[in-house]
A = this chain, B = another copy of it.
Amino acid sequence: MTFVPLTTQPQEIEEKSFEIIAEELGEHPFTAEQFPVVQRVIHASADFELGRSLLFTPDAIQAGIQAIRSGCPVVADVQMVEVGVSKPRLEKFGGKVHCFISDPDVMEEAKKLNTTRAIVATRKAARLYDGAIWAIGNAPTALLELIRLVETGEAKPGLIIGVPVGFVSAAESKELLSKSKGVPFITNIGRKGGSPVAVSIVNALSLLAARE
């Protein structure tokens, strides 16, 4: 018994996928600028419901493109996001991806404060970088802490990509983000999300930054 794949050409696989997605998605509420991001999220998740749940501030896409073109760093909440983000397109503009969750000082402080490593890592990144793209795919506590630090003026993100997944605080953290003022964000409604979603949004933005 064998199955012959339609194609083993990476570029063709992606193009074929994008055709299927555009066809099956049908009518949608997204702008032409937002659509490539939605498409790439559906591509990464095979989940149209998740794609349709995305929310953008009107300035989000341009803020992301500008941050990437200015060589601003990408802050990933977990290593799965860190390794998934495509590096060459960011590096072309001088940008790098950072993830602090496994840093020894972060682990030590989280233990001392009896809190999550995600919270402590968020504080560390906020101290180090202004204008960064925050890609949060896993930890609701990271997103909640980032929202708090934006309100106190301790964090100045260029764009927040807040798509943590899960049953405890994930949907709530994203609802809170969706009501934030004064900061560009991309998020989604509900419990779904995850590292591949955060990765695909960053990668869609860096493609837009490189192409335009």
Contacts and interface: CB of A to CB of B under 8 A. Distances in A.
Interface of A: 1-3, 5-10, 13, 16-17, 20-21, 43-47, 79-80, 82-84, 114-116, 119, 140-141, 144, 148, 165-170, 172-173, 175-176, 179, 190-196, 199
Given A17-B168, A141-B5, A80 B46 contact: no
Given A167-B20, A167-B43, A168-B16, A179 B1 contact: yes
A173 B6 contact: no
A25 to B, nearest CB: 11
B167 A17 contact: yes
A12 B1 CA distance: 47
Given A47-B192, A141-B8, A167 B21 contact: yes
Given A5-B172, A13-B168, 15 more contacts: A5-B140, A16-B167, A17-B168, A20-B168, A21-B167, A43-B167, A46-B166, A46-B167, A46-B170, A46-B191, A46-B194, A80-B84, A80-B196, A80-B199, A196-B196
